[in-house]
Amino acid sequence: MHDHSTFVRLSMSFLNNRVPPPVVALLVAALMWWLPDAGADALVWPSWVHWMALPALAMGLGFDLAGLYEFWRFKTTVNPLSPARASQLVTRGVYRITRNPMYVGLALNLLAWALYLDKPLTLLGPVAFMAYITRFQIQPEEQALLGLFGEPYAHYMQSTRRWL
């Protein structure tokens, strides 16, 4: 008979690499849209903060496109649900800055959405996205890539940050 922690661990591992990160980002964005304006009176942003959504969006799209470009250039899979199908370890270009530029891009896009919505609670959206993606996408990817690429990937993990 399994104890409670085994059940929780097995249940949690079921989510590993199951939901495409862009779908997670869209779900989080939808939840952000539906969040109430609670706390709006306590936190009043200057009007220029609303406009910071544009540079955040531009940076997010830049990270996304730069990551996709490098994967395309090295002819390796961009499918995050099948990290074991990676054919190349990409450490050049934007991958010198972060091991996960496409996830950084999605998080920045969610930050842009939060700034645009101008509701303080929406700032929890990018944080929730990053927590979910770290646990259920990045950590399983890292294990798969360590299995595929061994020491070169371990060295890459030590020399390049997971996020920024």
| pLDDT score recorded for residue 16 | 87
> Domain for residue 4, yes or no?
no
Average pLDDT over residues 29-54: 79
> Domain for residue 1, yes or no?
no
Six-digit token string for 93: 């270009």
3-7, 10-14, 82-86: which has the highest mean pLDDT?
Answer: 82-86
- Total count of domains within the chain: 1
- Find the radius of gyration of the CA atoms of the chain: 18
Residue 159 predicted with pLDDT over 60: yes
* CATH number of the structural domain spanning residue 45: 1.20.120.1630
- Is the pTM here over 0.75, yes or no? yes
> Domain for residue 164, yes or no?
no
Angle between helices 151-159 and 139-149 (to 10 degrees): 140
Look up residue 35 and give its DSSP letter.
Answer: S
Question: Can you give the residue range of the structural domain that contains 46?
Answer: 21-159
Q: What is the pLDDT of residues 46-101, one digit of tens each?
A: 778 888 999 999 999 999 999 999 999 999 999 998 888 999 999 999 999 999 99
Q: What is the mean pLDDT of the chain?
A: 90
Query: In residues, how long is the chain?
Result: 164
- Integer Cα distance of 30 and 19 in angstroms: 16
